[in-house]
Amino acid sequence: MESITLQPSEKQIQDFVAQYQAQLVSSKNPYIRYLFKLDKATASIYTSGKVLFQGEKAEQAAQFFGYQASREETTAPQQNCPLIGTDEVGNGSYFGGLAVVASFVTPEQHSFLRKLGVDDSKSLTDQKIRQIVPLLKEKIQHQALLLSPKKYNQVIAAGYNAVSVKVALHNQAIYLLLQTGVQPQKIVIDAFTSDKNYQKYLQRESNHFPNSITLEEKAEGKYLAVAVSSMIARDLFLENLENLSQELGYELPSGAGVKSDKIASQLLQTYGMKSLEASAKLHFKNTEKAKKLLER
């Protein structure tokens, strides 16, 4: 498990707290001011001012404070070819759908993307990402898919699980992008499961293509095509979350923390179970937590 320790300023800490309020969880450690459960990482902010990131995506989370690994660690020379990269957003959030994007990037586009800041996309705020994404959509060939919460719950009920549904979406996004005529020399998926599992679940899908794929951890920091997909997917997920919030009249938070439990219980009280069926991923533990909150 990767661990990164930083000592940012108090202002930076408060900016981080504000950004990830939805992922804030309680801690029994008296020396921890704030504890955040992020996507495949935890962030512990101590009373001393030290911030400890741990987990598979510790490096990604730490880049909020400007942390960067060496160029050798973050840049893959294998991306110097026409390449499709995919990533998903929303998998760890109770509310909102699941967005998956496949993007086709050529070496000639690398300079343009780096000037936009895509090379360091992990350190960008949601606000900055949403400013950049319209340019990415215009300049980069991509295929975006959004599985709404209602449809997500239906496919889970039909026998899919949290991994197999992502396999289906990644495969479909790549398949549709290839149908446009792009010719990648490599296809990279930001790894969310083992290659064996991916191939097992892929067998149930109807659309297939002859190109080989590579599942690689931390691919967002190594391949610009994956970083582009991550940013477009984030924008799509946030747009869906905003639309659902407007429909229900409640501000739905990202993540799966205590705030999500409280909002879910309020929705249950106001609209009943149908509101969660249309806005949340029901198999998350938040559903049962919300029901218990309502019983108090």
pLDDT of residue 65: 87
- Taking 90 as the threshold, does the pLDDT of residue 4 lie above it? no
Region(s) of the chain under CATH 3.30.420.10: 83-244
Percent of the chain's residues with pLDDT above 90: 74
pLDDT of residue 215: 96
Q: Which contacts qualify for 262-266: CB closer than 8 Å, 24 or more apart?
A: 262/290, 262/293, 263/95, 264/94, 264/95, 264/289, 264/290, 265/290, 265/291, 265/293, 265/294
Region(s) of the chain under CATH 3.30.310.10: 3-65
Q: Is 120 annotated as a binding residue?
A: no
| Residues forming a β-bridge with 86 | 102, 189
User: Looking only at Cα atoms, what is the longest distance across the chain?
Assistant: 59
- Taking 50 as the threshold, does the pLDDT of residue 81 lie above it? yes
pLDDT of residue 122: 65
Q: Which of 13-17, 70-74, 97-101, 142-146 has the lowest mean pLDDT?
A: 70-74
Question: What confidence tier does 31 reach under pLDDT thresholds 50, 70, 90?
Answer: confident
What is the spatial distance between Cα 232 and Cα 10, in angstroms, rounded to a whole number?
31
Highest CATH level, class, for 3-65: alpha beta
- Taking 90 as the threshold, does the pLDDT of residue 72 lie above it? no
| Residues forming a β-bridge with 16 | none
Question: What confidence tier does 71 reach under pLDDT thresholds 50, 70, 90?
Answer: very low
Residue 176: what are its φ and ψ, rounded to 5°?
A: -65, -35
- Taking 80 as the threshold, does the pLDDT of residue 2 lie above it? no
What is the spatial distance between Cα 235 and Cα 121, in angstroms, rounded to a whole number?
13
pLDDT digits (tens, 9 = 90+) for 280-296: 999 999 999 999 998 87
What is the spatial distance between Cα 280 and Cα 252, in angstroms, rounded to a whole number?
9
- Are 159 and 283 within 8 A, CB to CB? no
Q: Is 190 annotated as a binding residue?
A: yes
- Taking 70 as the threshold, does the pLDDT of residue 56 lie above it? yes
Please name the residues in contact with 127: beta carbons below 8 A apart, sequence gap of 6 or more.
Answer: none
What is the spatial distance between Cα 223 and Cα 219, in angstroms, rounded to a whole number?
6
- CATH code given to domain 83-244: 3.30.420.10
Q: Is 235 annotated as a binding residue?
A: no
Residue range 43-62: mean pLDDT, rounded: 89
Question: What confidence tier does 30 reach under pLDDT thresholds 50, 70, 90?
Answer: confident
The burial class, CB within 10 Å (0-12 / 13-18 / 19+), for 94 is buried
The chain-wide mean pLDDT, for the chain, equals: 92
| CA end-to-end span of the chain | 38
pLDDT digits (tens, 9 = 90+) for 83-97: 999 999 999 999 999
- Are 53 and 4 within 8 A, CB to CB? yes
Question: What confidence tier does 70 reach under pLDDT thresholds 50, 70, 90?
Answer: very low
